[in-house]
Structure formats: C-alpha cells, structure tokens
Amino acid sequence: MQSKFFCAVFLLVFGSQADCTTIIFRRDGSNILVAADTRGSLATGDVIAGVARFRYDVSDRTCKIVPLKTAVFAVTGAIDYRKGRLDTLDDWNALDDAMVASKNDGNNLNLVANDWALRSVTHYQAFLKADPQRVADIVKDHSHILELGQFFYWQDGTPKVLVKIIEFDPGQASPVFSEERVVTITDKELSTNNNTQELIDGKTFAAKKVSAEWAKYARKLAPVKLPSKHLQFLIEATSKIDKSVSPESDILQIPEKGTPNWISTSGCKR
C-alpha cells in the first residue's frame, strides 16, 4: 500500500525543477535514513526573445534535504525561484521556508509542516497572480502537483513521513492549495523515482543485474555501512538509466532519540 501511494503521488511531479529527483528512505533499526540525488535546475523568470518565460540553470550541486530540530525535510517538484528581469516575484526556496518554519514553530512538526505549506501556497498564489500561464506550465503533465514537501520523523517509536502536497487546479475556488498524507516507514526502501523503485523491487532484468552488482560490491563493506551505502548505490545506479538524476547524493540519518546527522554530503553543506 505504501509503495502504491508513493508511486501514485510522488512520481507525478518529476520533470519540473527537481527533474526526476530520487529521494530514497527506509528504517534502519532505531534510525531513519533519507537520501537524495543532487541534480536540479533553478528557475529564473526572464524575458527571452521578447517573451516572458523560465530560464533553467542545471546543477549537480542542488541540495534537496535539510535537517530540522528532530526531523528531516526533503522536497521535490518546483522547489525554488530566482527573481529575473521585469519580475514582480521575490526570490524563494522551499528548503529555506522549512528551516524558517522549524525555527518559528519548534518541535511541533504539525505546526512546522503547516507553516511550510502556507508559505508555499502563498508563493504560488503570488506567482499565479503575476503569470497564470507560467504556473500552468509547471503542472503540465504532472496532475496538478506543484511541489511535495516530505517531513521524516519519529512518533512514539514509529518512523513516519508527513507529506505536504502543493497543488494547482484552476477549476477550484482557491486554485492553489495543499493536502496532507502520513505514511509509516518500514525497513523496505521506498523512492520517489519510478526508475529507482524498479531497482528496489528487483523484478526487471536491469534490476536483477544491479542487484548482482550490489551483492558483489557489498562484500567489501562493513555490515554497519550497508543500509546507507545501498541508498547511495541505488542513486548512482539510477543515474545510469535516468539522465535527469545525478550519481552524487546527500544522506541524512534521524535517530529515534536525538537530532539528525549527516552521513554523507555532496550538494548540501553541513
């Protein structure tokens, strides 16, 4: 049921600013592991050939996950914006919003998530007012979804992810709005990227080949490193079949008791 949820909801958004982002997560004993690739493109409002449109600057140093006080935030979709020429919108970044919300609302994750979602909705409401067509272009082929904010946390000994879905539907009275889902995390890996999920499921010929490569590589690793190294390995393997995914990754660990800590960084700064 969880896998169906993530494939049905998360996979609708990719192809936007965080093109084909792969975020992988799982439970590892008393820890939650969250990994993200680092390829993304920053949208800038600009005038190109006399027409207002986006310009995208692609980078393999895009950070998509940040530690909060006792949780981790990850984001996919149209996650940032840079003010351009003749532009009335302000610079905006979904990760910055999460950190400000965490600072304002402390350890109450529901308040943090609601604060973050309100900031995203407010940004896109202003965006819609300034340029309705550009907002429509973002959700084209993505079933109304603008952005997904994912909050990973522990609750009474159970690892969970709270997902805030920012949507645009011109048929609604309030066309920009948010919805929420909460899913329990297990020791089975789940990904926001269809290609990565196929590798995890291990049913296709390509997935079985990757599994064999991992089995050979894993023999060289200490057992304690296997869970996080496998997430890293899956992202690198995904990059070979999905050119919108970087082979590099950032990985955070959330202990049941304590604060999140970095296992490895590439696009993110510690």
Is residue 37 situated within a structural domain?
yes
Q: Is residue 269 part of a domain?
A: no
pLDDT band at 74 (very low <50, low <70, confident <90, very high): very high
The reply to whether 132 falls in a domain is yes
Instruction: Decide if 256 is inside a domain.
Output: yes
Which two structure tokens, joined as six digits, stand for 27? 């439970």
Residue 136 pLDDT level (bands cut at 50, 70, 90): confident
Residue 55 lies in a domain: yes
| Bigger pLDDT: 97 vs 81 | 97
> How confident is the model over 153-195, as pLDDT tens digits?
999 999 999 999 999 998 889 999 999 999 899 999 999 888 9
Residues 6+ apart with CB under 8 A from 150: 23, 73, 74, 75, 76, 161, 162, 163, 164
Q: How many domains does the chain have?
A: 1
Phi, psi at residue 253, to the nearest 5°? -120, 135
Query: Per-residue pLDDT averaged across 46-64, rounded?
Result: 67
76-90, 174-188, 248-262: least confident range: 76-90
Decide: 23 and 95 in contact? Cβ < 8 Å: no
Would residue 86 count as lying in a domain?
Answer: yes
What are the phi and psi torsion angles at 181 (to 5°)? -135, 145
Any domain includes 270: no
Q: Give this prediction's pTM.
A: 0.87
- Residue 183's closest CA among 167, 166, 161? 161
220-233: average pLDDT: 97
CATH of the domain at 113: 3.60.20
Question: The tokens of 119 are what?
Answer: 């900031």
Domain that includes residue 180, residue range: 2-264
Q: How confident is the model at residue 102 (pLDDT cuts 50, 70, 90)?
A: very high
Whether pLDDT at 7 is above 60: no
